[in-house]
Amino acid sequence: MPGNAKLVPSICTECPAGCAMIVKVRDGHPVKHEGAPGSALCMRGQASLSRFYHPGRLKSPMLRGQNISWEEAVAAIEGALGKPGPHAFLSSRTTGALSELIDGFCQKRSVERLPEFEVYSYAAIRKANEIVFGKAALPFYDVKQADFLLTVGVDVIETFANPVQFAHDLSEAKLKWVHAESGLSLTGINADERIVIPPGTEAEFLTNLPEKVATALKNAKRPLVIANGSAALPAAKMQKALNSPLDFDRGLDYSRAGTLADLDKLHGRSFGVLFIPRRRSGGVPAKFRRDESRVSYRLWRFDERDAAEVRSGVAVVRCAPKTRCDAGKSRVVGDADKCSGNVPAEGAGAGGDAVDSDI
């Protein structure tokens, strides 16, 4: 019935928290994002609706700057996959059905699934927890069980772990909340007390707490300390000593997430096809993108940030410099013996530069 809206359950992918959401669809068009019943979306999740209607949104796959059909794109990918590998898949954090789907694809097509890349991998917290608690995991911080909360440098309302859950739980928690940070954040604005510390001194702050904070921690019945980076280890030691309300069974699953060191290990490796699904906040570090010269073909699903760079397609296949002929021309995807006649500028693409859309 025209005008009738239907509600479609989905997942917000704006950050690794992956909040459950409901998309209101009217006449085939999404018109509103809302949190699933009992949940909510943050500002970013709400605003993500604008992605659908962004004027720079890519509407079809592209090859060498030209629109192509999905059939042509799939054929190009098939052709590239048929060539010698190794082929690899580098994604950001995935969970549930999507993760299983990617696993199945990689298994079937002999594609290596690399450790997932996340800017916020919580590697320091996971390592600290492995040392202190014997669990390399990001726990659920049960702020509703705490009567005193000390957050150091972590922006729990905007970016840390599951910001929506934190915002919700903190609105109901009955606790005294002290937040230490170097730059003003929404978290700092909402805390009962905000302490300004110089950047990079989070660990030092935790090991030399101001007397009033140390006393408050000592007098609390269920104190909770949350910190990341260099302060993760001292925070974990304090959590253990204070018996902080942590729940390792309810934390976000980051077991597939790698670290920047894992990404570094890719340097020096060569790939046939490297799949990089839509990048999330931060994207793949420039250091790694520079190394894409070792990738024969790159398949990339673009979002509007990428579109601004290349106005390219949903699936992109690009010859890297090492596959170019002596004249420096690119090869037609799927046909290594043909030349595209599209001569990229000298050095273009050698740094994984997406503007070089010889795809």
Q: Closest separation between CB of residue 264 and ligand SF4, Å?
A: 27
Q: How many Å apart are CA 86 and CA 111, to the nearest integer?
A: 7
Q: Closest separation between CB of residue 198 and ligand SF4, Å?
A: 29
Q: Closest separation between CB of residue 81 and ligand SF4, Å?
A: 32
Between 44 and 127, CB nearer to ligand SF4 = 44
Q: Closest separation between CB of residue 254 and ligand SF4, Å?
A: 14
Between 47 and 345, CB nearer to ligand SF4 = 47
Q: Closest separation between CB of residue 131 and ligand SF4, Å?
A: 28
Q: Specify whether the CB–CB gap between 216 and 148 falls below 8 A.
A: yes
DSSP annotation of 60 reads: S
- Which one of residues 41, 123, 209, 354 is an interface residue with ligand SF4 (CB under 6 A)? 41
- Cα 299 from chain centroid (whole Å): 18
Compute the Cα dihedral for 171, 172, 175, 180 and give only its sign: negative
Q: Closest separation between CB of residue 48 and ligand SF4, Å?
A: 7
DSSP annotation of 257 reads: B
Site map for ligand SF4, 138-177, x if CB under 6 A? -------------------------xx-------------
| β-bridge partners, 16 | none
Q: Specify whether the CB–CB gap between 337 and 319 falls below 8 A.
A: no
Q: Specify whether the CB–CB gap between 93 and 116 falls below 8 A.
A: yes
CB under 6 A: which stretch of 11-19, 83-91, 235-243, 342-350 binds ligand SF4? 11-19
Between 41 and 257, CB nearer to ligand SF4 = 41
CB under 6 A: which stretch of 39-47, 105-113, 211-219, 346-354 binds ligand SF4? 39-47
How many residues belong to the site for ligand SF4 (CB under 6 A)?
12
Looking only at the bridges linking them, the beta strands covering 335-339 and 148-152 are: unpaired
Q: Closest separation between CB of residue 49 and ligand SF4, Å?
A: 12
CB under 6 A: which stretch of 10-18, 146-154, 189-197, 295-303 binds ligand SF4? 10-18
Between 95 and 293, CB nearer to ligand SF4 = 95
- Which one of residues 24, 25, 30, 44 is an interface residue with ligand SF4 (CB under 6 A)? 44
Between 16 and 61, CB nearer to ligand SF4 = 16
Q: How many CB atoms lie within 10 A of CB 223?
A: 23
DSSP annotation of 313 reads: -
Residue least distant from ligand SF4 (Cβ) = 45
Q: Closest separation between CB of residue 349 and ligand SF4, Å?
A: 32
Compute the Cα dihedral for 336, 340, 341, 342 and give only its sign: negative
Q: Where are the beta strands (DSSP E) in the chain?
A: 5-11, 20-26, 29-35, 62-63, 66-67, 87-89, 111-113, 140-141, 148-152, 176-181, 193-196, 223-227, 246-247, 271-276, 295-300, 331-332, 335-339
Q: Which positions lie near ligand SF4, rule CB under 6 A?
A: 12, 14-15, 17-19, 41-42, 44-45, 163-164
